[in-house]
Amino acid sequence: MAGRVLSYEKKDTWIHELSGVTKLIFFLAWSITSMISYDTRVLVVMLILSIAILRASKTEWRQVGTVFKFILLFLVINVIAIFFFSPYQGCEIYGSKTVIGHLFGNYYFTKEQLFYEANIILKYMTVVPSVFMFIVSTDPSEFAASLNRVGISYYVAYSIAIALRYIPDIQDDYVKIKNAEAARGIELSKKAGLLSRIKNTTPILFPLVFTSMNRIDVVSSAMELRGFGKNKKRTWYRGKSLRAADYAVIAFAVIFCTAALIITFRGGSRFYNPFR
Amino acid sequence: MKFKFGIKEVVAAGIGTALFVALTEIQIPLGFIPNTALQPRAALLAFLSAVFGPIVGCIVGLAGHALGDALFYGSVWWSWVFPDALFGIGVGLFASKFAITEGDFTGKNLIMFNVVQAVSNAIAWIVLAPVLDILIYAEPANKVFAQGFFAFLGNFIITLILGTLLGVGYSKIGAKTGSLKKED
């Protein structure tokens, strides 16, 4: 399991020292900016910065390698699909058409399309390092506590704490149930047909969901017995308050992203057009 | 309508999100449309929303999809996160009508659940997701509407089968309201 999914790992870097909330704000600002902007110059700067940040967090290939390969696969499929669904989307956006090659039928390669798709890859790639950084350097329990510190209702913070706490448990349950069912001859691989695969998920889904429903009852009773929700405030064991470094990072994120958006929209549209 | 957010809802949103994230692992690829698959987690979201209401549905859809994307795929496809939250809210708004926890999830309620999930799915995937894809990522319209349509179809079918079964199963386990009778 551990290799397949990203998870937190304790390390001694200034990024790990930051509050989880700071990293969340940074990640949100970063992903919103890269979502909106189609300005190649902005995206390239963001990509370089986010790779630098990922390196600063001392993230190693073994932590993220499997997931990264998966992203690449997903991305390649998406880019190819865009081309086949709409080979001239780029020409429409940039308002010109420079043919550089012929594939078949009505499918011609154009410079504009290549540039447009390169931008899509770039957009995607700018977000990936920030997600990696956020997940591998943020301690889940510290994160929930910090959420409450910055004013989010502790009910919601607690929901998130519970979610992060139980993901590994439920994944373990899932693997156990799956292996147990596989031992009984339930086929889940590609060998089975579509309908039988849907049918075959039920022996896994049902025990998993119903034990979780039980868990909800048990945990909420336990919390009720301990008086959860009685007071307006609660204290946290792992909480970190925001320090100077946190404010600096938040300020940087806000200023950088605002500037990036101003530069993006200065040309009148969010696309940077080298063909004009 | 179940707008309460008490202890049970806190825990349900938390464990529900964890469950949703864990179920990200089960994907049954449709094969012919890129990056679109039958997702049993959609059935789970419908089920949880129908039991615990719109707030839990919204949190599980939003946090579950964002976290699941981040943990499994290392990036968050926001234009598909919000439709899941909307779907959770949509189904959750009618939670008290389905009477799953009251042990009365049969006949009319069962049909009602599937009508509500079909409509919520349609709004979320045929309308919201492609529109966000175009606004945010400027992807070609025909591609995202094709993907959106198949996402709708996939989620509708999986919820129709697995979501309904989950509801019926859970409804049978729970105690029925009024099942206690006074002894003569």
Token pair recorded at residue A276? 């004009």
User: What is the rounded average pLDDT for all residues in chain A?
Assistant: 85
Residue B37 dihedral angles phi and psi, to the nearest 5°: -145, 160
Q: What is the pLDDT of residue A192?
A: 66
User: Which residue would you say has higher pLDDT here, B28 or A243?
Assistant: A243
Q: Where are the domains of chain A?
A: 14-139+244-266, 145-225
- Give percent above pLDDT 90 in chain A: 13
- Closest chain A residue to the Cα of B143, Cα to Cα: A85
Q: In this structure, how many other beta carbons lie within 10 angstroms of the beta carbon of residue A149? A: 18
B158 contact A CB<8A: yes
Across the range A143-153, mean pLDDT stands at 82
B2: left (phi over 0), alpha (psi -120 to 50) or beta: beta
Q: At what angle do helices B40-52 and B7-23 cross, to 10 degrees?
A: 170
Predicted pLDDT at B12: 93
Q: Which of residues 111-140 of A touch B (CB under 8 A)?
A: 120, 123-124, 127-128, 131-132, 134-135
- The encoded tokens of residue B166 equal 């989950």
Identify the pLDDT of residue A103. 79
Residue B98: burial class (beta carbons within 10 Å; 0-12, 13-18, 19+):
buried
- Encode pLDDT of B74-121 as tens digits: 778 888 899 999 999 999 998 888 888 777 788 888 888 999 999 999
The residue-averaged pLDDT of B136-156 equals 86
- The band of A18, judged by pLDDT with boundaries at 50, 70 and 90, is confident
CB A108 within 8 A of CB A84: no
Q: In this complex, do A120 and B173 lie within 8 Å of one another by their Cβ atoms?
A: no
Identify from A43, A73, A166 which residue to disrupt to test chain B contact, counting B C-beta atoms within 10 A and taking the largest count: A166
If one compares B89 and A273, the residue with the highest pLDDT of the two is B89
Q: Each residue of A195-231: pLDDT tens digit? A: 777 777 888 888 999 999 999 999 999 999 998 888 8
Q: Rounded mean pLDDT of B141-147?
A: 85
Instruction: Please choose, from the candidates B167, B144, B176, B174, the residue with its C-alpha nearest in 3D space to the C-alpha of residue B33.
Output: B144
How many whole angstroms separate alpha carbon A106 and alpha carbon A265? 34
The beta strands (E) that lie in B18-57 are given as 28-29, 37-38
Alpha-carbon span A135 to A247, nearest angstrom: 20
Of A144, A140, A97, which Cα lies nearest the Cα of A116?
A97
CB of B13 less than 8 A from some CB of A: yes
Which of the pair, A106 or A193, is modelled with greater confidence? Answer: A106
> How crowded is residue B169: how many other Cβ atoms within 10 Å of its Cβ?
18
8 Å CB contact of B18 and A6? no
ipTM of the complex: 0.85
Q: Is the pTM of this model over 0.95?
A: no
**Rounded Cα gap, residues A133 and A131, in angstroms:** 5
Find all residues with CB under 8 Å of B141, minimum gap 6, and list them.
A86, B130, B134
* Greater model confidence, B59 or A152: B59
- The answer to whether A41 and A170 have CB atoms below 8 angstroms apart is no
Bridge partners of residue A99, in order along the sequence: A110
Residue A104 DSSP symbol: E
> Which domains does chain B possess?
7-173 (1.10.1760.20)
Q: Does A234 touch chain B (CB under 8 A)?
A: no
Kindly report the nearest CA distance between residue B50 and chain A, in angstroms.
Answer: 13
